[in-house]
Each structure stands twice: as structure tokens, then as C-alpha cells.
């Protein structure tokens, strides 16, 4: 096991960290210029940075116990190093000279559960670079660079939600985001509520290819007079589209309306209803759910104190999020998980963070 002391030969120059995110409402809306309401996870990714003693870059992930080394004119292979290298190259492209570095990474954000461990790594790394090198970078610009690192270096054609949430959200408030203007504001969770997140134990195998397919399907209506689905306010307006664009557009248009309603401040009960409606729409119209996520949401809804539940993130596996009355999360999560795993499934509670 490599410690920071052994990796750096002493203390690093700076530490920085960033959270993952759980999206409460507004799924598959970010790449349609729409609206969303994520919160930050209690789990975080931490980076430690110091200038290298020679002209090479050295990255170490203590979570993966993996090393990446490359010369200044080289590049990191695909994997955790490509996110870090992407941040470095994009900061260089902003005109900042970045010396060869040693970078140590550790995370307790679950990887592959739809909680955006990749955004947490990008945002933590950019914060670390900003701190080490002392250049100006506001938190929205930082989120934009983090998104570009994901698209251009990790080769994932994502929207801006994850990086905005990791850069600007906190754990006790939702972050309302307008993906077109990047206007954002914190909005409190409905009074007297807390959240549960349970990983279904199903890896998001098709997430990449199906994600791109959905993006393309949403792109089609843009050929008409609207710039993006965000510009359609009347849900009836999409009913004349051919299938499957009609149902894809119906999800996006209605999901945006749900986010706008929730962001105004609604009762806990209404928020729960909006989450349930979001799940049904993702299942039936957007077709990104899988039976395990549907079962897990049903089990969560059946627990005392639970107000609503939905899949969170891109879908095709990953996690479900539920809103429940404060004080009920531990018990409701444990009961839903026990019932879910009874059939040999491998679910696990992510939030509230298990204490062990």
C-alpha cells in the first residue's frame, strides 16, 4: 500500500477534494439544455499534488492501487490517468504553465453506480491545480473544464450536470441548474426530509451506447423550429412526432416541468410524487430503466416514511434514490435492501453512508 508520505517522499504541497452527486430530479435533461436538481454526496474524491523531482508525470490511485507514469510529451493511457491528464492539458490550454507533477488520488465515491465518481475526480484535480498554481478559475468555469476533460480525454459525451453539481452543490441543499445558461442556485430539500441511495448491484453495461442513442433521438426534433427540447413548454406539442422521438421528447419536456415545479419549493409529499412520476417516465417513455431498478424503487416506496423513489443517473443499472421523512432513512433503506437482496441480488446502501 502506497501512502502519501512514501509517494511524495514527505508531505504533498496541496490537498483538494470534491464530492460525487445524486440527481434528485431532472434526468437526461442536461444535454437538452434543460433543468436539474442534484445534491452532493457525502462521499468525496481527494487528490494530493506536488511538483515532480524530474520531468515526468506520476499518478497513483490508492483506490485502484494503480500507477501511471508519462513524459511531458507523452500521455496517460485510458483509465483514471486520462481524467487527470485531461485537467492538466486543459489548464495548460488556458495559458497556465503546469510543471510535471506527482498526483495521488483516493476516493470513497462509489465507481459505476451513477454517482459521478468521474466528475468528482475532475473537479478535485482542477481544484488542486488551482490551489497549487494560484491561477484564477471560478467554479462554473471549473465545471466547464471538467466536462471538457470528460468529453475530450475520457471520451464520454456527457452533459454538464455532474461537473456543475460536483463543483457547486452541497449535501444539504439541492442545486438547481439551468444547463443552457449555467445559472444555478441552492434550494433547500423539502422540509423534514432526507435521502436514501441504494445501488442495484447491476453494472451499467449499456449505459454508454444507449446514452448516445438517446441523445441522438432527442436531437431529431431540433431539425424543426426549436433549438432544443428545453424550448418546448407545452407537452402536447411533441405528440405529433414519430416514434420513438415522441416518447423521448415527452419525457424530457415533462421532466423539465417537474424540475421547475420542484425548484419553486413544493411540499415533501409533492416532491415524492414528482420523483415517482420521473421514474415512470424514464421507464416507459425514455426506456432507460431495467427490472432491477423498477423493483428496487417499488420496495423503497413500500417503506414507512418514504415519499418517492426513482432511478438516478443515466439508467441501465446503477442506483435508485428515494426521499423520505427525516429519521426514517436508516430503517427504510435497510428494509428495502433486505427485501431486494432476498433473491440473491447484490444491492448495497450508499446513502446514508454505512458506518461499519
84 touching ligand NG1, by CB under 6 A: no
Q: Using CB under 6 A, pick the residue from 116, 193, 256, 278 that binds ligand NG1.
A: 116
Q: Using CB under 6 A, pick the residue from 39, 50, 158, 321 that binds ligand NG1.
A: 158
Q: Which is nearer to ligand NG1, 28 or 102 (CB)?
A: 28
Catalytic residue among 162, 178, 199, 285: 162
Q: Nearest distance from residue 55's CB to ligand NG1, in Å?
A: 32
Q: Nearest distance from residue 325's CB to ligand NG1, in Å?
A: 26
Contacts (CB under 6 A) with ligand NG1, residues 248-277 = none
Q: Give the three cell numbers for residue 73.
A: 510529451
Q: Nearest distance from residue 283's CB to ligand NG1, in Å?
A: 14
Q: Using CB under 6 A, pick the residue from 137, 156, 206, 260 that binds ligand NG1.
A: 156
Closest by CA to 312, choosing from 209, 136, 219, 174, is 174
Question: DSSP letters of 75-129?
Answer: -PPSSHHHHHHHHHHHHHHTT-----EEEEEEE-SPTTSSS-HHHHHHHHHHHHH
Q: Judge whether 294 counts as a catalytic residue.
A: no
Q: Which stretch binds ligand NG1 (CB under 6 A): 28-36, 83-91, 227-235, 303-311?
A: 28-36
Closest by CA to 127, choosing from 76, 168, 71, is 168
Q: Using CB under 6 A, pick the residue from 81, 114, 128, 308 that binds ligand NG1.
A: 114
Outline where the chain has alpha helix (H): 4-8, 80-93, 117-133, 139-148, 161-168, 207-219, 245-263, 268-284, 291-301, 329-341
Quick note: the x/- pattern for ligand NG1 over 29-58, rule CB under 6 A, is: -xx---------------------------
Sign of CA dihedral 284, 290, 292, 293: negative
Q: Using CB under 6 A, pick the residue from 27, 85, 178, 217 that binds ligand NG1.
A: 27
Q: Which is nearer to ligand NG1, 28 or 230 (CB)?
A: 28
Closest-CB residue for ligand NG1? 313
- Between β-strands 348-351 and 66-70, what pairing exists: parallel, antiparallel or unpaired? unpaired
Q: Which is nearer to ligand NG1, 251 or 328 (CB)?
A: 251
Taking the CA atoms of residue 10, residue 16, residue 22 and residue 27 in that order, the dihedral angle to the nearest 10 degrees is -120
CA distances from residue 258 to 52, 158, 233, 236, 252 in whole angstroms, order as listed: 49, 22, 11, 15, 10
Q: Using CB under 6 A, pick the residue from 85, 122, 162, 199 that binds ligand NG1.
A: 162
Q: Give the three cell numbers for residue 341.
A: 437482496
Q: Nearest distance from residue 175's CB to ligand NG1, in Å?
A: 14
110 touching ligand NG1, by CB under 6 A: no
Query: Helix, strand, coil proportions of the chain in percent (round to 5)?
Result: 40, 20, 35
Q: Nearest distance from residue 312's CB to ligand NG1, in Å?
A: 7
Distance from chain centroid for Cα 293: 17
Distance CA 222, CA 233 (A): 14
Q: Nearest distance from residue 251's CB to ligand NG1, in Å?
A: 11
Q: How many residues bind ligand NG1 (CB under 6 A)?
A: 15
Q: Active-site residue numbers? A: 162
Where do contacts with ligand NG1 occur on this chain (CB under 6 A)?
A: 27-28, 30-31, 114, 116, 118, 150, 156, 158-159, 161-162, 313-314
Amino acid at each position: 500500500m502506497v501512502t502519501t508520505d512514501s509517494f511524495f517522499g514527505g508531505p504533498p504541497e496541496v490537498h483538494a477534494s470534491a464530492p460525487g452527486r445524486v440527481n434528485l430530479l431532472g434526468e437526461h435533461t442536461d444535454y437538452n439544455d434543460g433543468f436539474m436538481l442534484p445534491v452532493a454526496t457525502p462521499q468525496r474524491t481527494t487528490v494530493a499534488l506536488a511538483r515532480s523531482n524530474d520531468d515526468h508525470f506520476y499518478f497513483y490511485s490508492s483506490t485502484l492501487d494503480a500507477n501511471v507514469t508519462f513524459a511531458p510529451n507523452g500521455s496517460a493511457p485510458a483509465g483514471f490517468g486520462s481524467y487527470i491528464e485531461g485537467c492538466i492539458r486543459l489548464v495548460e490550454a488556458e495559458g497556465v504553465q503546469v510543471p510535471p507533477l506527482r498526483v495521488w488520488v483516493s476516493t470513497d465515491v462509489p465507481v459505476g453506480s451513477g454517482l459521478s465518481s468521474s466528475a468528482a475526480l475532475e473537479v478535485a484535480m482542477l481544484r488542486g491545480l488551482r490551489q497549487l498554481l494560484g491561477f484564477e478559475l471560478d467554479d462554473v468555469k471549473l465545471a466547464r473544464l471538467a466536462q471538457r476533460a470528460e468529453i475530450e480525454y475520457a471520451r464520454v459525451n456527457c452533459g454538464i450536470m455532474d461537473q456543475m453539481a460536483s463543483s457547486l452543490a452541497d449535501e444539504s441543499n439541492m442545486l438547481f441548474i439551468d444547463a443552457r445558461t449555467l445559472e444555478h442556485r441552492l434550494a433547500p430539500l423539502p422540509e423534514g426530509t432526507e435521502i436514501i441511495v441504494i445501488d442495484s448491484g447491476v453494472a451499467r453495461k449499456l449505459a454508454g451506447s444507449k446514452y448516445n442513442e438517446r441523445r441522438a433521438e432527442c436531437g431529431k426534433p431540433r431539425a424543426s423550429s426549436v433549438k432544443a427540447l428545453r424550448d418546448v413548454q407545452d407537452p402536447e406539442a411533441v405528440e405529433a412526432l414519430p416514434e420513438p422521438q415522441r416518447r423521448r421528447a415527452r419525457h424530457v419536456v415533462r421532466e423539465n416541468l417537474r424540475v421547475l415545479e420542484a425548484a419553486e419549493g413544493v411540499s415533501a409529499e409533492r416532491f415524492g410524487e414528482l420523483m415517482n412520476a420521473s421514474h415512470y417516465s424514464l421507464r416507459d417513455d425514455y426506456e432507460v430503466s431495467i427490472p432491477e431498478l423498477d423493483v428496487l424503487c417499488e420496495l423503497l416506496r413500500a417503506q414507512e416514511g418514504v415519499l418517492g423513489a426513482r432511478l438516478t443517473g443515466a439508467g441501465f443499472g446503477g442506483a435508485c434514490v428515494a426521499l423520505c421523512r427525516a429519521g426514517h432513512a436508516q430503517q427504510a433503506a435497510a428494509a428495502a435492501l433486505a427485501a431486494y437482496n432476498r433473491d440473491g441480488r447484490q444491492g448495497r446502501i450508499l446513502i446514508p453512508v454505512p458506518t461499519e
